Chains A and B, each alone.
Chain A
């Protein structure tokens, strides 16, 4: 049997050749394009999609995930479990669904109720992820309480985070504003809709989440 017992030999092999793995949560306020981005990642790397997208906020009200999504960049790769989470908000008003989006009263109330449960579920998932892709709408003011709270929470947990400044295909978008608002984190301007700059995002994801994961494991 030599120097190593069977298990420890397998263990060493796994340490050397085993795949890098990380559970990545896609987080952010409602309607910033989290599911659109999740769909793009899955379509590019697995051929699947994650879930439905809508202009009406709180379309995703239950977290969805896809396991073992292999994302590669030039020289390395990372297996990720991608979790698409419901948008986090401090308020949910069913009347907004009625008045702004023309849903019926019953539909609106149901959607609002599920949305509040979705927020709680997203927060619970924070316990369980190894890293976060925080999506922000680059056409909007970045200093919202939800963004600040999520970032502060991730910092307190020492979780690696990448900020995706989304919707930069839109004329009034300002990824530079986002970058200067959160200088302590990497900010990657993208359009989840058109796919603009997604290659760059994937490279950063493999680097950032792969690296931090190894550190944490030590």
Chain B
């Protein structure tokens, strides 16, 4: 790929932009960008059902020499408070980072921080 010279894009995608999409459009957008070699940070992560869909779509798109899949790390849904529950506020998934697996490597993840590195090149982790 010619990406090296141009640098690697890391795009922050706002909640507003994500909310404009339907679920299917959102997954298509993400997968297209990631296949172009971009790393995305989503202000609003994907629901578990969307994450599962994304994994299935990714598997269909794998091209053995050019696209080996994705790296994705995010946090689960915020637990709504009792008041929110009464008011019917729906749970919202939190921020998520997604990128091509041959670029984005997760270093460490705990409940407060997700540490990643961008290291071009495949190889197990």
Interface 1/0 per residue, B21-60 and A, CB below 8 Å = 0000000000000000000000000011101100110111
Pair A96/B124 contact, Cβ less than 8 Å:
yes
A148 to B96 CA separation, bound complex (whole angstroms) = 12
In the bound assembly, the distance between CA atoms of A99 and B68 in angstroms comes to 15
Q: Name A184's closest neighbour in chain B (CB-CB).
A: B79
Interfacial chain B residues near A116, Cβ < 8 Å: 59-60, 62
Contacts of B48 in A (CB 8 A): 148-149, 151-153, 155-156
A199 beta carbon closer than 8 Å to chain B: no
Which stretch (A47-55, A87-95, A168-176, A202-210) binds chain B? A87-95
Q: Looking at chain A, what size class is its interface with the partner chain?
A: 20 to 34
Most buried by B among A88, A116, A126, A145: A145
Stretch at the interface among A17-25, A74-82, A117-125: A117-125
* Residue A64 at the chain B interface, CB threshold 8 Å: no
Q: Given contacts A89-B69, A91-B101, A92-B62, are A126 and B74 in contact (CB under 8 A)?
A: no
Q: Which residue of A lies closest to B57 (CB)?
A: A120
Give the total of B residues in contact with A, Cβ under 8 Å: 31
Residue from the list A89, A109, A117, A152 in contact with B51, Cβ < 8 A: A152
In the complex, chain A residues whose CB is within 8 Å of the CB of B51: 145, 149, 152-153
| CB-defined A-B contacts under 8 Å, sample of 22 | A89-B55, A90-B58, A90-B69, A91-B68, A91-B70, A92-B62, A93-B124, A95-B123, A109-B64, A116-B62, A117-B59, A119-B56, A119-B59, A120-B56, A120-B59, A123-B55, A145-B71, A148-B48, A150-B52, A152-B47, A152-B51, A153-B48
Binding site for A on B (CB under 8 A): 47-49, 51-52, 55-56, 58-60, 62, 64, 68-74, 76-77, 101-102, 106, 108-111, 122-124
The 10 A-B pairs at the shortest CB distance, nearest first, are namely: A152-B48, A91-B69, A91-B101, A116-B59, A149-B51, A93-B68, A153-B48, A119-B59, A143-B109, A123-B56
